[in-house]
Amino acid sequence: MASSRKSQTKSSSAIQRGVADVLSRAGVRADQTLQLALSGGMDSMVLLSVLAGLRERFGFALRAHHVHHGLSPNADDWAAFCAIRCAALEVPLSVSRVSVRPAAGEGWEAAARRERQGALASEAADWRVSAHHLDDQAETVMFRLLRGAGVHGAAAMRAIDMLPSGGGRLRPLLAFSRGQILAFAQAESLVWVEDESNTDPRFSRNFLRHSIMPAMGERWPSAATTLARAAANFDEAAGLLDELAVQDAQACGLPWSRDVMRSMSAARLANLLRWRMRALSLPVPDQARLHEAIRQVQSCANDRPLTLPLGGAVLHAYREVVWVSPTYPELPEEGVLWPGDAVVWGEGVVEAISVVGAGVSQARLAQATRCEIMARWPGCRVALVERPRKDVRSLSQGAGLAPVDRDRVPILRVDGQVAWIAGLGVAGTFACRAGEAGWRFVWRRPEAYSADGVALL
């Protein structure tokens, strides 16, 4: 019995030192806030206890966030339990209630995770902290490999994921097994809740956790540690592939050169496209769809434009360039009244900047009955400054606007007449004279939607 207590005490001190080491390596400062994802289960309650004990040493502010999924009849009790434990430790708690509705092709586990991550991200914090441990790491690697993941998908979760702007995500328990965490909880007389869904074998991860991993552990006692080491190796390989993608992206320019891409192997192009999609937080398509898109880009002549849907992303090729974007939001069927300042249009915002001697005449707009932002309509024609009257579609093509943009660029229509078109310019009849107050309109879009990452004036 004495030996058991000594072992538990040793495990407790090891976990406390391990968590403190992660905080130190991350450079957590006294002016920063840590947000702990608190389910009420054993892992997160252990981490809550340890972090609460480290506040005085590091000086950080600690908050907890519980996500109420509404999937269990015990969900209200879990939220109440978290509130009681946080109050006892003087840790502020936020509770978010979410509605879990799986999207097409999405399971309940994935849908709940998506809602949970969204709720946690909605609250500002310097560091987001979760209680993932060594066994979670091993299970994740196995689960993803069984789904055919590549090195990025099978790469390890990291104890410290830093953001360029500072802060990031911490997983201070990653070096510890479920058994070590249980020993800590027992040594500290902690209490926690049990989610009945965690034992339901209908969920793939539970089947893996309760049936496959224990059998592997009996045959190979160090299986979890070995899988975690493999995940670290995958992470290293993924980093090298990302470095290669950065080099290839620089060689291709922005937007990417179609001719340069033709000189690259399909595998190298696939790596470049996956890297770009991850950088834009876009879902990466399966291998078959991605390689078919690559085949079309490499085999089609430059005079053939391509718009290839790839799930949540779109691959574009126009003339000599190639780029990736998110799927485009629907445009309003009718025009949007211009309120005199900024107005949302599609994936961007139309802004009006007050200038002198340029842009659309403010006096003309002040006299107008109706000013609206619209997409191109049939028969839409305009005479730009010092140019003859022409069809807007022909003007867009001549200006080099990609086909995907020609029917999306915002047009300012004033009392039925075209006054300004993004990417083309101002109509002569609405142009400012020297010294006159004008509006310079700009359609600002996220870089992800633009071939060259610039706004359309």
User: For tokens 């608190």, what's the residue?
Assistant: 38
Q: Are 412 and 420 in contact (CB under 8 A)?
A: yes
The response to whether 21 counts as a known ligand-binding position is no
User: For tokens 């690697």, what's the residue?
Assistant: 141
Q: Residue 317: exposed, middle, or buried by beta-carbon count in 10 A (0-12, 13-18, 19+)?
A: buried
The response to whether 359 counts as a known ligand-binding position is no
Task: For residue 252, give the nearest of 206, 320, 188, 197 by alpha carbon.
Answer: 320
Contacts of 342 (CB under 8 A, 6+ apart): 349, 350, 351, 352
Task: Please count the other Cβ atoms lying within 10 Å of the Cβ belonging to residue 365.
Answer: 19
Q: In a 3-state reduction of DSSP, which class is residue 246? A: helix
What whole-number distance in Å separates Cα of residue 226 and Cα of residue 247?
32
Q: CA 252, 253, 257, 259: dihedral to nearest 10 degrees?
A: -40
Looking at residue 34, what DSSP letter applies?
E
The response to whether 43 counts as a known ligand-binding position is yes
The response to whether 42 counts as a known ligand-binding position is yes
Identify the helix (H) or strand (E) that includes residue 168. Answer: strand 168-170
Q: In a 3-state reduction of DSSP, which class is residue 107? A: coil
Task: For residue 258, give the nearest of 297, 289, 296, 314 by alpha carbon.
Answer: 297
The response to whether 44 counts as a known ligand-binding position is yes
Report the amino acid identity of residue 443: W
What whole-number distance in Å separates Cα of residue 372 and Cα of residue 412?
6
Q: Are 134 and 225 in contact (CB under 8 A)?
A: yes
What whole-number distance in Å separates Cα of residue 37 and Cα of residue 118?
12
Which residues define the annotated binding site?
39-44
Which residues define the annotated binding site for ATP?
39-44
